[in-house]
Chains A and B, each alone.
Chain A
Amino acid sequence: MKIQLFASLKDFFGKELDIDQSISSVESLRQFLETQNPQSASLLKSCRFAVKDEFVANDYLLTDHDIISVIPPSSGG
């Protein structure tokens, strides 16, 4: 699966991540990312996740071919 990261998340993970292992849900992905970079944990708790340009809930089931966007809290305006 491919992970797209935005704004301050890029400082932790870069702009894009390819993950070879299977991750079953959004919540598991959040935990996986926290394990990869523990300093990102508090930010990840405030992030939303999106697949195919739609926000998805924590229990959303992922497939290996999904492209998942991790959306930090907004800071526009």
Chain B
Amino acid sequence: MTLSALSHQAAAVEVLTDKPIDLPGLLASSHHEQAGAVVLFSGDVRNHNIGREVSYLEYEAHNELAEKSIRKILEDAKEKWPLNIAAAQHRLGKVAILESAVVVITASAHRSEAFVANRYIIDRIKHETPIWKCEYYTNGEYSWGNNCNCAEITGDPDKHLYSQ
């Protein structure tokens, strides 16, 4: 497969979706003859946060900016590491407990690059991509939650502190 065909393959995965993320389908299409390692990270919706029982989440995005942001992050990852595949998809709208809210898939010749690139991509998506979650609790209350608070430390909304 040519390099341009590979980029095409990565671009073919929709980065935003309002339908359930098809983890088995995305994984099935993420194998590559030159890649000995495939890493799939799924950010799942859990039933609790900071001691409160969560009923479900609802995500909203600035769609155009979010799509551009995720595509740029994937391109940056491909420049930093020799990846055969770099793909990501984020869910929008109401997402139930146990469902996947975001998936990142990386594939490379050896596992080291696939792991580190996957972590890089999900960290940047969580800090930079204009997508927001609203937590709805079992008692009927809601809160917009867990915003990136790097700007309070760096003084600049474009400067982030990454955990890696």
A residues in contact (CB < 8 Å) with B? 4, 6-8, 11, 45-48, 50, 53, 55, 69, 71-77
Contacts and interface: CB of A to CB of B under 8 A. Distances in A.
A69 B66 CA distance: 13
A59 B123 CA distance: 29
Interface stretch (B2-10, B24-32, B57-65): B57-65
A31 to B, nearest CB: 16
Nearest to A43: B147
Interface in B137-164: 144-152, 157-158
Contacts, number: 83
Interface of B: 43, 59-62, 64-66, 68, 90, 101-102, 122, 125-134, 144-152, 157-158
Contacts of A73: 147-151, 157
30 contacts: A4-B62, A6-B62, A6-B130, A6-B132, A7-B60, A7-B132, A7-B144, A8-B147, A45-B151, A46-B157, A48-B130, A48-B158, A50-B62, A53-B64, A53-B68, A71-B65, A72-B147, A73-B147, A73-B150, A73-B157, A74-B126, A74-B131, A75-B133, A75-B145, A75-B147, A76-B66, A76-B125, A76-B133, A77-B90, A77-B122
Contacts of A72: 132, 147
A45 B150 CA distance: 12
A77 B65 contact: no
A72 B151 CA distance: 11
Given A55-B158, A74-B147, A76-B125, 17 more contacts: A8-B144, A8-B147, A45-B151, A46-B149, A47-B157, A48-B130, A50-B62, A55-B65, A71-B65, A71-B130, A73-B147, A74-B131, A75-B132, A75-B147, A76-B59, A77-B122, A77-B126
A48 B158 CA distance: 8
B145 to A, nearest CB: 6
Nearest to A70: B62
Contact of A77 (B43, B60, B64, B157): B43
A77 B62 contact: no
